[in-house]
Amino acid sequence: MSQQLSQKDLMYLTDHLDIEKQHVQKFQEAANQTTDPQCKRMYQDIANMHQRHYDTLSQHITKRKMMS
């Protein structure tokens, strides 16, 4: 059974979507600027994690908007 999200819930998720996008950009930029291979890998891993969060939130928002 799926529940409808309120407009407030959608706004909250959309805000977090923007935050995840900022995190992806920030850590990708850090990965591009560092010369240390370990740091580069760590920043890339963190950017990828935030990208997965972004993708998951985006899917939920899209699915919920289509249901309403």
Q: DSSP H helical segments within 1-68, as ranges?
A: 7-33, 37-67
Token pair of 66 as six digits: 């289509």
- The string of pLDDT tens digits covering residues 5-55 is 788 988 999 999 999 999 999 999 999 999 999 999 999 999 999 999 999
Token pair of 40 as six digits: 């580069």
- Model confidence, pTM: 0.85
CA 27, 32, 35, 36 dihedral sign is: positive
Give the pLDDT confidence score for residue 68 in this predicted structure. Answer: 65
